[in-house]
Amino acid sequence: MSLSSATLAARRVLVAASQSSHEGGARTWKILTFVLALPGVGVCMVNAYMKMQESSHAQPEFVPYPHLRIRTKKFPWGDGNHTLFHNSHTNALPDGYESSNH
């Protein structure tokens, strides 16, 4: 089947679909949801869980890049150096990670 005949066949299918009644549309989307979408979400959830299990939870090495963690003025909460949703395990301060001996 050449490219032009494949294109022609695809156009015929689209024209036939647009001229037919739209009564089966809801049933088609319901079937697609249960057959494709929900299993796809399940596969993505399993993949994320497996990736989480195999990753290490160690802090990455701190590299003091000059363009990151710039503080031009203090934050209006706490000591002024921690962001609002600061996590001492994953978020570094401008001079490095906090000690985890809290």
- The Cα 97–Cα 68 span in angstroms is 14
Can you tell me whether residue 48 is helix, strand or coil?
A: helix
In a domain? residue 101: no
Asked if pLDDT for residue 44 goes beyond 90, the answer is yes
- The Cα 95–Cα 82 span in angstroms is 12
In a domain? residue 38: yes
Greater model confidence, 55 or 52? 52
In a domain? residue 35: yes
Q: What is the mean pLDDT of residues 2-19?
A: 71
In a domain? residue 2: no
Alpha helices in the chain (DSSP H): 3-19, 25-32, 38-54
Instruction: Rank 17-26, 32-41, 87-96 by mean pLDDT and report only the highest.
Output: 32-41
In a domain? residue 50: yes
In a domain? residue 12: no
In a domain? residue 44: yes
In a domain? residue 63: no
**Domain of 38, in residue numbers:** 23-55
Using an 8 Å Cβ cutoff, are 69 and 98 in contact? Answer: no
* Domain total in the chain: 1
